[in-house]
Amino acid sequence: MNILILGSGSATPTLTRNPTAQLLEVSGRLFLIDCGESTQISLLRKKIPLLKINHIFISHLHGDHWLGLPGLISSMHLGGRTEPLHLFCPKGLDEILSIIFNHSDTHLQFQINYHFHSTDSKQLIWENSFLEIFSFPLLHKIQCNGFLFQEKPKLRNLRREAIEIHHIPVEDMMAIKAGSDWINSQGHTIPNALLTTPPKPSSSYAFCSDTAFHPKLNDYIHQVKVLYHEATFTQELESRAQSTFHSTANQAAQMASLIETQTLLLGHFSSRYKDTTPFLAEAKNHFPNTMLVYDGFNLDF
């Protein structure tokens, strides 16, 4: 997995931070998470082909998380897109986009397939042979969902020397890679551990957009490998965070510790902060392996 941060700020853009947008790459497949203003400009700067994005995930309907979407869709249209676009979002975004395109007399040459969030439970919303994607509810002023991207368990690796020694036929290899022992022509069972080596551990990424401190998240994303959690304020504005249903860096770090993640990424910083280093100091008190994201930040994991 690789996460590329396209926007790391909160409601008000700054000269150095766009509103929230992220691009997750998993085995060559691209997933856009939220789409604040200037998202397509950030994609162009990183030379990401817009038409390679087939799945977009919008956490909620506050404008700083979706206002870049009409422009991005229009550019896809002008770029000759014909493939369907899958949009995972709250109900209502379909109506908003329909009004925009109707009044601008825009007739898309591709279909938008809407997949609406569950409002009260964790839900599998998409999967293929190697990945599962879940949505789960956050705690915000309006309906807001996070997303969990989780690789499925990988197949074991065949030992080349074992294949040659035991003359294992091709038709039996998939079952062995899946973990089965193998019975040779003499009826002897060869343990799987002698035929394979363990696979690379599966990876996972959780995106927790706008949310107040919410211990229930542990039920949804326990032990996720990398956690992105909003940190709009530092601790001296905890009352402001509470009233706006946002989190402080301290609260995000406490959540990371509770979830037992390996790495915590903090973002969605209020534009009032010209220097974000206090966020890192505050979070590291509770969770040492914390990083602050910025526009252009990327991480392989």
> So which residues are the catalytic ones?
64
Distances (CA, A) of 99 to 35, 82, 87: 18, 21, 17
- The two structure tokens encoding residue 298: 């990327």
Contact partners, residue 136, CB within 8 Å, separation at least 6: 121, 122, 123, 145, 146, 147, 148, 217, 220, 221
Computed from CA positions of residues 167, 170, 174, 177, in that sequence, does the dihedral angle turn out positive or negative? positive
Strand order in the sheet with 290-292: 123-127, 131-137, 145-151, 204-208, 226-230, 263-267, 290-292
Please name which of 118, 150, 146 lies closest in space to residue 132, comparing C-alpha atoms: 150
- Looking at this protein, which amino acid is placed at residue 112? I
Say if CB 139 and CB 119 are below 8 A apart.
no
Residues 39, 48: Cα–Cα separation, whole Å: 11
**Alpha carbon distance 51, 53 (integer Å):** 5
Residues whose CB falls within 8 Å of the CB of residue 229, separated by 6 or more in sequence, listed in order: 208, 211, 247, 252, 255, 256, 264, 265, 266
Which residues sit opposite 265 in a β-bridge?
A: 228, 291
